[in-house]
Chain A
Amino acid sequence: MAKSLFDKVWERHVVTDETPSNPSVLYIDLHLIHEVTSPQAFTELGTRGLLVRRPDRTLATIDHSTPTLIDADGHRPYVTAQAEKQVETLFENVEKHGIKIHGWDSPNRGIVHVMGPEVGATQPGMTIVCGDSHTSTHGAFGALAFGIGTTQVGHVLATQCLLMRKPKSMLIQVEGELQPGVTAKDVILAIIAKIGVGGGTGHVLEYRGQCFDDMSMDERMTVCNMSIEAGARAGMIAPDQTTVEYLRGREMVPEGDALDALAQEWLSLRSDPGCDFDSIVTMNAAEISPMVTYGTHPGMAMPITGIVPAAADEAEEKALEYMHLKADAPIAGTKVDRVFIGSCTNSRLDDLRAAAKIMRGKKVVADVTAIVVPGSEQVKLDAEAEGLHDVFTSAGAEWREPGCSMCIAMNGDKAAPGELVVSTSNRNFAGRQGPGARTVLASPETAAAAAVTGFITDPRTLETAA
């Protein structure tokens, strides 16, 4: 029977098959952990006297609660003592259980979904989990990758397995080429706007078509990252030569003949012609515009050139009220207070280059605060080697230390009540970036354009310096 990419990866990891009374036992190749969703799981292990089954398949870093500033004395000021304790607790737990951590001294410390691919821990055909919903990011490599809760973090620590029934499958086919100035972020926002914020619930998505073939790995990660924002467990893209070239030379990837052999296997991980999907969505890449959100969930997204749609129900009415936006008015030209460029969605080198291209030779307008937060220490170093930090700082934007920062606003980086933030992150929920903060999700280009104009601005209308 013809099988999908998802079927193939799933089947290779089934330890025991599901029955009417029991879910499958699914083997997990890579378990990424961070400070926020792991402490209670380690406590549970301790209570039960259990050990970590495969420390070698577990990899840790610190990102959510970590400060993005270093003071003059070299101290990193935590938002609270509790946040600091949470980070310390992870260091204690990984020490105790022999788990490798990309900590303060690692060149790869940073957002867990930036670190994993960067060190080559993320590889095609793997099952990857993490106590973080944006684990879907790793699906860009043709891995089956999804977020889990803390109880399941404990299950994987103890058994390297999860109990799970097989989700349904959905094909998202986007053919054709994107117009100039349209980005991966715009593609995924357009997909979520089309299928809805719950449209992917219970499904694993496969993204297929020229639109994705043409993308770099950084761009594919942006797409897969936001699969969860359509409610999907995971999103996958079949590995190709772009995938192999990205992984070549990375720390955890074999070299030479071993890589060639592995690459052959990776490239065979494709959906068979004629395989079944539970549902299929098709879109034309050429019809996608730069997108921004206008409400309080990522499905409320619209072309930046459009007018704010009328509220479809009471919840959308409340969302418009929260956002201080009026239906039937253009979204472009809306006053901006803050700009955030970062997060597991858009903090990789490609993203920073795109933002710098818009900001180069311009100034962040006086009443806008703009912060740029690279995804990892390595991204930071690479960006600095290219001089991108100079572009941002001479424009008047802040160049911060790596971390989740204002995407989740739990480390103290946040907006003030009522402020409008154009953000390259993934969630525009009410209060996500601070109580009362209003979030507009957009690409790095659109965020940079907002910083230098002070308004929601189509980046295609700005001249860029050579």
Chain B
Amino acid sequence: MSMKSLKIVTSKTLVLPAANIDTDQIIPARFLTVTTRDGLGKHAFNDWRYNDDGSETDHYLNSDEAKACEILVGGHNFGCGSSREHAPWSLTDYGVRVVISSEIADIFRTNAVKNGLLPIVIDKRAHQWLLDHPGEEITVDLENQEVRLPKNGGTFSFDVDAFSKHCLIEGVDEMGYLASQTNAIDAFEAKR
């Protein structure tokens, strides 16, 4: 699967400040009976966005402004819970390309990078600034591993696994690399 290359994203931020936003909030389990990965954006944060009768709530996530944001800033420990890759699938389909938090759950983070979605764990001060300034236009520069904030917010570096960075920038997935390890895998199996 080839993915869209991600180098620099400049966008207003969509801020969801609650701590521990879990995968059941990102996409409730009743939408997981699908056998494809497409079109899940309409169910992103489903129970925040829709009333029981299916009509839209007045949640900010339903606004055109929110839907135009490519950078989501979440509260601490974003994406905790299940291994459902439907969570990043729904976010990318909604239009998100970068998720920033002070902590991001392991499986969500692993799933995100495999779908062209950059998860950034950032310094607590920068995180607080982002929570305090929803909707500001910021720049995420993956090549230089920097988040640049306007209005004297400053510039903050972030860590990213070198291999994930390569995959995101080149828009390639990991299967190709794994498949290239076949000889090593054969040898490993042979010596056990």
Expressed in whole angstroms, the minimum distance between the Cβ of B21 and any Cβ of chain A is: 9
Q: Does B33 lie within 8 Å of A149, measured CB to CB? A: no
Q: Does B84 lie within 8 Å of A409, measured CB to CB? A: no
Q: Does A16 lie within 8 Å of B181, measured CB to CB? A: yes
Q: Does B35 lie within 8 Å of A23, measured CB to CB? A: no
Looking at the complex, which one of A39, A85, A158, A297 makes contact with B22 (CB distance below 8 Å)? A297
Chain B: interface residue count, which band? 35 or more
With A163-B178, A313-B19, A430-B24 as contacts: A151 and B173 at CB distance below 8 Å: yes
A-contact bits for B84-117, CB 8 A (1 contact / 0 none): 1100100000000000000101110011001100
Query: What separation, in Å, do the CA atoms of A27 and B192 have in the docked complex?
Result: 11
A-contact bits for B41-55, CB 8 A (1 contact / 0 none): 000000100001000
A106 interfacial contact with B, CB 8 Å: no
| Among A27, A44, A149, A409: residue with most chain B CB under 10 A | A149
Q: Does A201 lie within 8 Å of B103, measured CB to CB? A: yes
Q: Does A429 lie within 8 Å of B33, measured CB to CB? A: no
Within 8 Å CB of B162, what residues of A? 20-22
Q: Does B83 lie within 8 Å of A429, measured CB to CB? A: no
Task: State how many residues of chain A have any CB contact under 8 Å with chain B.
Answer: 69
With A37-B83, A148-B107 as contacts: A427 and B24 at CB distance below 8 Å: yes
Within 8 Å CB of A44, what residues of B? 1, 175
Nearest A residue to B24 via CB reads A429
Q: Does B33 lie within 8 Å of A15, measured CB to CB? A: no
Q: Does B81 lie within 8 Å of A161, measured CB to CB? A: no
Q: Does B178 lie within 8 Å of A417, measured CB to CB? A: no
**Which B residues between 12 and 52 are near A, CB-CB below 8 angstroms?**
17-20, 22, 24-25, 28-30, 32-37, 47, 52
B76 interfacial contact with A, CB 8 Å: yes
Subset of 6 A-B contacts with CB under 8 Å:
A25-B181, A37-B84, A40-B36, A161-B181, A198-B20, A198-B103
A residues touching B (Cβ–Cβ < 8 Å)?
Answer: 15-16, 20-23, 25, 27, 36-37, 39-40, 43-44, 47-48, 50, 53, 64-65, 79-80, 82-83, 85-86, 89, 131-133, 135, 147-152, 154-155, 158-161, 163, 165, 167, 197-198, 201-202, 228, 231, 233, 297, 299, 313-315, 318, 408-410, 417, 427, 429-432, 435
Q: What 7 A-B pairs come out closest when comparing CB atoms? A: A149-B111, A198-B77, A149-B85, A147-B83, A39-B35, A151-B114, A410-B29
